[in-house]
Amino acid sequence: MSTESQTTTESFESFESIQRSQVPAESSSHHHEEPTGIWSWITTVDHKRIGIMYFMTSMFFLGIGGLEAMLIRIQLFRPDSDFISAELYNQLFTMHGTTMIFLVAMPLAVAFFNYIVPLQIGARDVAFPRLNALSYWIYLFGGLYLNASWFFGAAPNTSWVGYANLTSTEYSPGLNVDFWVLGLSILGVSSIMGGVNFITTIINLRAPGMKLMRMPLFTWMTFVTSFLLVTALPVIAVALILLAFDRFFATNFFVVASGGDTTMWQHLFWIFGHPEVYILVLPAFGVISDVIPAFSRKPLFGYAVVVYAGVLIGFIGWGVWSHHMFTTGLGPIADSFFVASTMIIAIPTGVKIFNWMATMWGGALKMNTAMTFAVSLVGMFVLGGLSGIMHSSAPVDLQQHDSYFVVAHFHYVIVGGLLLGMFSGLYYWFPKVTGRMPNEALGKLHFWLTFIGFNLTFFPMHFSGMYGMPRRTWTYRAELNVEIYNQLSTVGAFILAISTVVLLYNLWKSARTGEKASHNPWGAPSLEWSIPSPPHHYNFPALPQVRSREPLWHEDERKEIEAITLAEPEVEPEMPNPSFWPIVLAAGVTLTWALVMTGRWWAPVIGLVLTAIPVYCWAFEDPFAKKETAHG
Amino acid sequence: MADAAAVAHDDHHYTSTGLNNWKLGFWTFIGSECLFFGTLISTYMAYKGASIVGPYPEKVFDIPLTSISTFVLLMSSLAMVLALDGVQKGSKKKALIWLGTVIVMGAIFLGFQYYEFTHFIHEYHLTLQTNVFGSTFYVLTGFHGAHVTIGVIWMITLFIRVLQGKMPPEKALQVEIAGLYWHFVDIVWIVIFVLIYLIP
């Protein structure tokens, strides 16, 4: 499979000329006018539109989560500050963490799953288009529900891990934890349905010849992530259900006086929580595993090994959760096991790092914005990984636990891993989605502001943590001598905020006035680049026949471009109709959960009965019923 | 929930593996449900013996009684298989008889559970709030009972569809998927019965 870099570069040039003559002409498939207007978006079941809505919504929540972070950083700028109250501070860091993980990081990745995966495997949509819309609407409503707590002055305030028994009605009597426990349950439903949908899509909707080991790495990592979603989310769902029962029906799950065990919450939370880390970061690994080969003009070095490493990370990710709990005193046997498994998981992760470097080695590198973000991920994630290996040792972890050192670590992993990767993917796929090129100058400005701001914010936290500054602390004393590190962090956070403004401006400007993009402006090898930018609503006029891992790149022995060999005649395919039942059903699900807050057992039952109506309407709706507008 | 129209459409649709999308998706969902019940059952097991006050499991469980309801639920899976066979062969009569049997047996199981819960509450004063055993027991078996209830409603829906003559053999997949759900809920009960009731 591996080709020398020079050959690839040469064949790529010849590819361009052939491709132009053979790709389905862009004008030939405009039989069907795409509906516009707000109603068409509300009822859409098109994976591309749903992907765009996921992206927009996650950007909205990124703004909220970012604002919360800015207030935190202003509060910590000076010692003994009382810029905001301690109670508000608790709400801010809780909602910052919860928002960034459940409302920004996960849906941002899902935005890319939605838009890109069907295109990469040569499918016309996901397996269950209406279920996909339902996932989105539940995510939106769940996020709004969670944030509605601000209007009650009762935002969740027990941190994103919500350790028992701080979350009990005894210690948290207000609505705060109610919003948290119910809001997260709603969001979990959305993620599980998304996971089911993408597993089915990737197994079942691959174009002819798209074998598993020919799938682009982004699709592969989506596949692994989806398995983690459907297996990890039920665990947190149960934990949240137990907590909800404790709060609303006075059960004894985490009540120590009745024999309950607070450690149980920690186990359940982290059995979900550690796979969650890989749910966050694997999609980013997938993105840059596609971006780096495209801009190195080389096939990914050791494709199979990168795939297996990703799968292995998914597996081992299930066996490391207690490294979050070394300080709970699980005993030397348990601690040793989790020390070992945590150290082992560094191996497949390291393998990926080396594969990316080897891909770049000797390649014809093109350092545009997408590539720059991808390369920076390799470096920044190594930093986060190294501090992670430090924590893997239980005695070291005992020193660092709950300090700012940990805060530095997981921001290097999540921002330095997930966010940089998602930005890379954003610039990479921007032409495909909008039909226009992203502005490179603004892109580079965004990159440097992000890179500098990110390091300035989080690197000093290693030091403030080592000097003993605890995490989640409202303020600190001047004698702790961590003021300078906190000031650097705050300055860095402002630079990050500015970088986000640059990003949004660039997206807005490029989408309107950017240079028109061809179907494959980067000369990239995967199937999404074989169709017009932006794609038709049915993606592929005819399903492609895939014969290699880089279908749009020449291989030594072949003299034609196989990807556009069509597996079926070119006709406008039948696509499912729009439906408004997903949004109605999502509203019903959210309402049912919200009614649990009343504490009356029959209230959610009323919600369930109401929800049954859209379920039945949905089930008996024919998604392929004849449309009123004929086309031909 | 099985999607009446979409299932029919997808029956003839191309897929990479030849498997139907709905069947594959539903198997994935069942995988997710395994983790859900697995976590609930593990919580029960981990909390076994943690209750500080009674009543304790040995006192309240009536094994012969629960054995009967377990047997009924187990046999309902057989009825489910025969109902599917009826739909596949286009025999409306057979389909109705056996779907009806599944519904009745599911309802009997739920009736037993209702009796068991009320008996525990009134006889032994074991409620959700009494002790850790009460909390873990009612939440676990309650969620299972909720699954059975959804299954019974699903079966009633299918029964009406068959009655209306809207379930030709081409749409048998709808019944097959409902069957997957029913068998799964049945198997979960077997695990619960063995681990929670039978093992002292």
Q: Is B136 on the interface with A (CB under 8 A)?
A: yes
Within 8 A of A242 by CB-CB distance, chain B residues are 43, 139
Q: Is A621 on the interface with B (CB under 8 A)?
A: yes
pLDDT digits over B71-102, tens only? 999 999 999 999 999 999 999 999 999 999 99
Cα gap A276→B71, rounded to integer Å: 40
Interface subset of B 57-116, CB within 8 angstroms of A: none
B155 closest CA partner among B40, B73, B90, B89: B73
pLDDT given at position B54: 83
Q: Which of B16, B47, B139 sits opposite A245 (nearest CB)?
A: B139
Would you state the structure tokens that stand for residue A498, as one six-digit string? 């500015």
**Looking at chain A, how many residues does it have?**
632
Instruction: For A277, list phi and psi in degrees, rounded to 5.
Output: -55, -40
pLDDT given at position A27: 41
Instruction: For A45, list phi and psi in degrees, rounded to 5.
Output: -125, 15
Q: Which chain B residue has its CA at the smallest distance from A237's CA?
A: B36
Would you state the structure tokens that stand for residue A349, as one six-digit string? 């992760």
Q: Do B31 and A231 touch (CB under 8 A)?
A: yes
Q: Do A242 and B139 touch (CB under 8 A)?
A: yes
Q: Which of A130, A260, A271 sits opposite B132 (nearest CB)?
A: A260
Residue owning tokens 């053979």: A22
Cα gap A136→A594, rounded to integer Å: 18
Q: Which of A204, A259, A615 sits opposite B19 (nearest CB)?
A: A204
Cα gap A175→B20, rounded to integer Å: 45
Instruction: For A436, list phi and psi in degrees, rounded to 5.
Output: -135, 155
**What CATH number does the domain located at B15-49+62-198 have?**
1.20.120.80
Would you state the structure tokens that stand for residue A340, as one six-digit string? 């070992």
Domain locations along chain B: 15-49+62-198
- Range list of β-strands (E), A233-308: none
Would you state the structure tokens that stand for residue A269, as one six-digit string? 């939370």
Three-class secondary structure assignment of A359-421: HHCCCCCCCCHHHHHHHHHHHHHHHHHHHHHHHHCHHHHHHHCCEHHHHHHHHHHHHHHHHHH
Q: Is A197 on the interface with B (CB under 8 A)?
A: yes
Measuring CA to CA, how many Å separate A394 from each of A74, A91, A321, A389, A398?
A: 33, 30, 13, 10, 6
Q: Do B5 and A625 touch (CB under 8 A)?
A: yes
Q: Do A264 and B47 touch (CB under 8 A)?
A: yes
Would you state the structure tokens that stand for residue A131, as one six-digit string? 């279920």
Q: Do B129 and A230 touch (CB under 8 A)?
A: no
Q: Do A238 and B39 touch (CB under 8 A)?
A: yes
pLDDT given at position A21: 36
Tell me how many helices (H) and strands (E) chain A has: 19, 0
pLDDT given at position A577: 87
Within 8 A of B50 by CB-CB distance, chain A residues are 259-261
Tell me the nearest-neighbour CA distance from B46 into chain A, angstroms: 9
- Amino acid at the residue A93: F
Q: Is B33 on the interface with A (CB under 8 A)?
A: yes
- Does residue A32 contact residue A572 with C-beta atoms inside 8 Å? yes
Instruction: For A264, list phi and psi in degrees, rounded to 5.
Output: -55, -45
Cα gap A283→A54, rounded to integer Å: 15
Cα gap A561→A545, rounded to integer Å: 10
Would you state the structure tokens that stand for residue A117, as one six-digit string? 């995966």
Separation of CA A520 from chain center: 25
Interface subset of A 210-249, CB within 8 angstroms of B: 210, 230-235, 237-239, 241-242, 245, 249
Long-range (24+ apart) CB contacts under 8 A made by A81-84 are A81/A475, A82/A475
DSSP state of A544: B
Within 8 A of B135 by CB-CB distance, chain A residues are 245, 251-253, 260
pLDDT given at position A54: 97
For residue A516, the SS3 value is strand
Would you state the structure tokens that stand for residue A514, as one six-digit string? 């950017």
Q: Which chain A residue has its CA at the smallest distance from B26's CA?
A: A196
A98 closest CA partner among A55, A149, A51: A149
Within 8 A of A232 by CB-CB distance, chain B residues are 35
With residue A479 as reference, give the H or E element that holds it: none
Residue owning tokens 């705050």: A490
- Does residue A502 contact residue A446 with C-beta atoms inside 8 Å? yes
Cα gap A79→A479, rounded to integer Å: 9
A136 closest CA partner among A43, A65, A212: A43
Q: Do B35 and A235 touch (CB under 8 A)?
A: yes
With residue A460 as reference, give the H or E element that holds it: helix A440-466
**Which candidate in A189, A192, A204 is best for mutational testing of the B interface (most B CBs within 10 A)?**
A204
Of chain B, the percentage scoring pLDDT greater than 70 comes to 94
Helix residue spans in B47-171 (DSSP H): 57-60, 63-88, 92-124, 132-163
- Does residue B180 contact residue B172 with C-beta atoms inside 8 Å? no
Give Rg (Cα) of chain A.
25
Q: Do A622 and B5 touch (CB under 8 A)?
A: yes
Q: Is A252 on the interface with B (CB under 8 A)?
A: yes
pLDDT of B48 over the 60 cut: yes
Cα gap B61→B40, rounded to integer Å: 19
Q: What's the start-to-end Cα distance of chain A, in Å?
A: 42
Interface subset of B 1-20, CB within 8 angstroms of A: 1-6, 9, 15-17, 19
**Looking at chain B, how many residues does it have?**
200
Q: Which of B19, B24, B32 sits opposite A234 (nearest CB)?
A: B32
Cα gap A73→A493, rounded to integer Å: 7
Residue owning tokens 């500050």: A81
Cα gap A113→A190, rounded to integer Å: 14
Query: Is A353 exposed, middle or buried, given 0-12, 13-18 or 19+ CB atoms closer than 10 A?
Result: middle
For residue B11, the SS3 value is coil
Tell me the nearest-neighbour CA distance from A128 into chain B, angstroms: 8
Q: Do A619 and B21 touch (CB under 8 A)?
A: no
Long-range (24+ apart) CB contacts under 8 A made by B31-36 are B31/A230, B31/A231, B32/A192, B32/A195, B32/A196, B32/A230, B32/A231, B32/A233, B32/A234, B33/A234, B33/B184, B33/B188, B35/A230, B35/A231, B35/A232, B35/A234, B35/A235, B36/A234, B36/A237, B36/A238
Contacts of residue B72, defined as CB under 8 A and 6 or more positions apart, other chains included, come to: B105, B108, B109, B112
**Average pLDDT of each block of 10 consecutive residues along chain A (632 residues)?**
40 40 42 75 94 97 97 96 95 97 97 97 93 96 96 95 94 94 95 96 94 96 97 96 94 93 95 95 96 94 96 94 92 93 93 96 94 96 93 92 95 95 97 96 97 97 95 93 96 97 96 93 92 90 86 59 54 81 93 88 89 90 67 38
pLDDT of B2 over the 60 cut: no
Q: Is B149 on the interface with A (CB under 8 A)?
A: no
Measuring CA to CA, how many Å separate A105 from each of A142, A280, A310, A414, A524?
A: 15, 6, 19, 8, 26
Within 8 A of B132 by CB-CB distance, chain A residues are 252-253, 258-260
Q: Which residue has the higher pLDDT, B8 or A392?
A: A392
Mean of the per-residue pLDDT values of chain B: 92
- Amino acid at the residue A162: G
Within 8 A of B21 by CB-CB distance, chain A residues are 127-128, 200, 204-205
Q: Do B21 and A251 touch (CB under 8 A)?
A: no
**Which candidate in B13, B16, B154 is best for mutational testing of the A interface (most A CBs within 10 A)?**
B16
Which active-site residues of A does the annotation give?
96, 125, 160, 190-191, 274, 276, 278, 289, 323-324, 349, 352, 471
- Does residue A301 contact residue A355 with C-beta atoms inside 8 Å? yes
